[in-house]
Amino acid sequence: AQSVTQLGSHVSVSEGALVLLRCNYSSSVPPYLFWYVQYPNQGLQLLLKYTSAATLVKGINGFEAEFKKSETSFHLTKPSAHMSDAAEYFCAVRGFGSSNTGKLIFGQGTTLQVKP
């Protein structure tokens, strides 16, 4: 079975500071991993995805994530936070197996606050 844990339901950073949102996964097969962003009252937008190619994945809006198999992690980072980055972020892993095939397994989400 697969699962995702996002450490920290709320993260607060100052504008211009480093953004680090943590995601750990559990998977019995090589994982496919995703980060999504959700702005208030909107749907989810794909930021980036890991599909077993390069371990450092670059996404939209200056975000990137590094797949670390030894740590079962896929943390999301951005060197310098902007006010427009304030949103909720979800990490997800592709499901495999009889009960999860075709699904995405989502973490609980992390709300990013950016202070001026």
Partner 1 sequence: DGGITQSPKYLFRKEGQNVTLSCEQNLNHDAMYWYRQDPGQGLRLIYYSQIVNDFQKGDIAEGYSVSREKKESFPLTVTSAQKNPTAFYLCASSMGQGAIANEQFFGPGTRLTVL
- 8 Å CB contact between 74 and 8: no
Rounded to the nearest whole angstrom, what is the least distance from the CB of residue 15 to partner 1 in the complex? Answer: 26
Q: Is 103 in the site for partner 1 (CB under 8 A)?
A: yes
Q: Is 102 in the site for partner 1 (CB under 8 A)?
A: yes
Q: Is 22 in the site for partner 1 (CB under 8 A)?
A: no
Name residues contacting partner 1, limited to 39-58 (CB under 8 A).
41-46, 49, 51
Rounded to the nearest whole angstrom, what is the least distance from the CB of residue 67 to partner 1 in the complex? Answer: 13
Distance CA(116)–CA(109), nearest Å, equals: 23
Closest CA to 55 of 29, 75, 25, 84: 75
